[in-house]
Structure 1
């Protein structure tokens, strides 16, 4: 049946042409954007995954930048430690020369003094972006020895985010500490044992009573302390009118605790060292002892008195050593050599630790870079358009579009042929 009102062929041709045009538009969008899934309407699931992973990759890029800053800071510290080691070796050489008879020690000390100043210059200059791990002030408000660098960014299967870090304990590599209780490599020493024992210069007396006389040491064992070769604490202890000098040095600590490096930690350790020092000074352990709270008389006999006076610290660190004095003997200089050698060992150990951290940062930086590339590849697999496939589709759809236009033209012209019937 031929109808002027309804042209079924034209309707079919038009629908086919519209479908072809829609497909052609989609293909052209993919070619122009490069994405198979450019918007959520293209594929909501893939678009959501890709958007999240792109965001995470941006965070990883920030992590990589942070690792770069961390690497520069660590490199700066390593350079400082390595330079300090070289200067310490020179000081050791000068001290060795000074042990010989006939050497002008004043002149040698002039050279050593310049090297000591160079060590301070190295420590003060080893700063990157405001961070200095070699010259510190552990007594400053908010100071923390542990320095952290962001190392990784992760998202678990539940979507929870986490940040990993690399931590550096700067207390083990610091060359100078301006705090009064410094434990730094070049100017740390016995001052720390004062606060650990609660001793201060002056006199503490306990008069007669019916209970044990006690010299209170309220902070006994609150912190750990390491005494170097030339570090010592001494005080005069008077028991019922008899005064004896008590000395605590590295040898005392090692003998009391079986240590090799002069480290005391914990209340028990401090009490053991104190008791060993008291016995070495000639005090009878049945009459006076170190126990909880401080130094006590034993038995609590009425009339016992205790007093401490002349509290003194010796801290012959690398920073303070001086061989120019008339009283400095060859034996004392040999102790100085051991002090410097001990500092060289600590600096070397610190540089070794920093070197291991440098290696870890390098590996983590490489890993983060590779991980970012892998994520980019995965996201591309989800949403990128296959340009070869799309170009082939484009050619086919353009041909279909031309045929569709031709078919619609033919369908529309069929109505014109009906006019001939009415001539």
Structure 2
């Protein structure tokens, strides 16, 4: 196994050379073997062990064992303890989910504090098979059938090509010692029931189940790669980046086969899960919205708009003095300068009668009750109604800024100046204000 492992590291993880690796070690055979194999590859490692205090004295004995292993390997060790049951109750989550969150949060803290480049975990081929079966039962897409990924950000899983039997066989031949977790034999958790009940039945039907599964994984990965390549082409064709949001062209989407499948592939990275609602946006009324934890989808005529969810602080107000030349707000800046004549035109530029302004000017978010005199009109209008008539999407309305002089709106930024502050034949001094993205 050592030779196969070295070849695997060389081909799949060449970047580990001269890097510091934090190895997650529970004390079980998988993580013990991983630590030994990495050290045999002359990779610089340290061990990290979490005591979740779930198995009484056995948990403490695991910690003592891992400390002895670190001493044997002559490498640093980092230990921590969690009151996992209490944390799970506070979070309202299962013990397994809580333990996983606590573990990885702590791992990342260590990598930052002690300059480790990667975190190595001991997931192997059997774990991938368990994931495959679990996701198949619960329902998933193609990506969910790919088992455990080889790498997720800083987390690497060098044992994935190897079966549990290969790991145990290596440990026995090397006379390694490890701890047995008696809870793995119990069927208290879904994963344990998959491992202890369902997979043995599958092996009865196919004694070469793992080999067949490994080949299936390769085929699925090839299909996923092809799908991702096609999706990248579709992304360029269908999605436009507007800096503060994205738009997806529905008119183009509807000319393609399998539009629902395309929507899933393009939008699932944004955290959406209610796919029937997402698909229904294609024929929904304008302004219909769907939310994920991180993003908002909004139907806008022949487009689906994609916004990052933002906390808007309505009481933000930026004062602009007469001497200011550049003012930063959000992801933009206002550039102020005197102009002798009209130059370039556009919604991102305002030309105002300087002598009608009273400094300091103020820049703030739009409010529901705001009114102004849009250029070209002799009567006032609610800003939100003006934006609606300009066909501005609901989510963008909420992110609109207004520039005020003496509490009166002089410019709905990036849309329209006020009729009352426009240049006239009597204008003596012109202020040019440009809104630029940074």
TM-score range, shorter chain: under 0.3
TM-score under structure 1 length normalisation: 0.18
Structure number with the higher strand fraction is 2
| Structure of greater relative contact order (alpha carbons < 8 Å, 6+ residues apart) | 1
Structure number with the higher helix fraction is 1
